[in-house]
Amino acid sequence: MLAAVVVLYNPDDTILENIDSYFNRVNFIYIIDNSDKPNGHKFSGLGPKIEYVFNNGNLGIAQALNIGCKKALASGFEWIITMDQDSKFLNFTDNVKDLISNNTNRNIALYYPDYIIDGKLYDKSIKEDNEPIIVMTSGNIVNLKIHEKIGGFEEKLFIDYVDIEYCLKLKKEGYSIANLPNVLLQHELGDSKRTSFLFVKAIVTNHSSIRRYYITRNRLYVRNKYKDVSNTFAKIETRVFINDILKILMFESHKMSKIKSIIKGYLDYRNNCFGIYNK
């Protein structure tokens, strides 16, 4: 049997279309809501196949995922799909469940799809020795017993780098990640856009100042914690960190606010201050 968990934060009406892309392919769906106000009425027509949980505030992506995973494990599920509200499958079939149930490699802790972003096929995984070691959270099929064994998603990160920390934790414990061939997930990347300045072209994320805080703090934490697990990841993160700062200075608005948030993220990392952002 296969469950799904989808985490909400103030969703729009496209959430129903996205859930519909996998609704008939799973046995049960846990909807964990971190929104400011309840959204249970949106799902009243989905019947007894769902459990809606309103957290009465934002507990962070990691804790919300863990709530769904624990509920699924307690109900006897072995695997769960982790979804965000902005993603939908384009071709999820029963063949996926057959592939997982027929697999004899008990070392695989997570399966991930291929990603369609802005209409193009992307491989968003980070590989080491030709093996995927880091993938995004959305669309993954997670082994629940292994999830419990390694301690689940790291809740003190709140948001950002939760998926990366989980994947590196799997690698540290000797587990592997496998691709779901020809399974496509359409994923939205928020406010990202292509831009240019003189002869320099770039894709900028336009993350808010608060997101810059979380990204910086959690990036430094995860990089330091797992630097001996993956040298590839450590090198990539150093380069990306520098590139992010340059892109903010060259292309993005609210530059000073974002740079201040990066500095605060660094200081809170050094002072071991985690959880939700605290001014």
pLDDT attached to residue 91:
93
pLDDT attached to residue 117:
83
What is the C-alpha separation between 111 and 177, in angstroms, rounded?
Answer: 6
Place of tokens 């072209």: 201
| pTM attached to this predicted model | 0.94
Q: Which residues 6+ apart lie within 8 Å of 29 measured at CB?
A: 3, 4, 5, 6, 19, 23, 46, 49, 50, 51
What is the C-alpha separation between 232 and 164, in angstroms, rounded?
Answer: 13
pLDDT attached to residue 191:
59
Beta pairing class for 120-122 and 140-143: unpaired
- Taking only the tens place, the pLDDT of each residue in 149-159 is 999 999 999 99
- Interval 49-77 mean pLDDT: 98
- Taking only the tens place, the pLDDT of each residue in 160-186 is 999 999 999 999 999 999 999 889 999
- pLDDT over 60 (residue 244): yes
Identify the CATH number of the domain defined by range 2-186.
3.90.550.60
Confidence of residue 248 (pLDDT cuts 50, 70, 90): very high
- pLDDT over 70 (residue 80): yes
* Whole-number Cα distances in Å, 163 to 56, 136, 197, 263: 24, 6, 32, 23
Rg (CA), the chain: 19
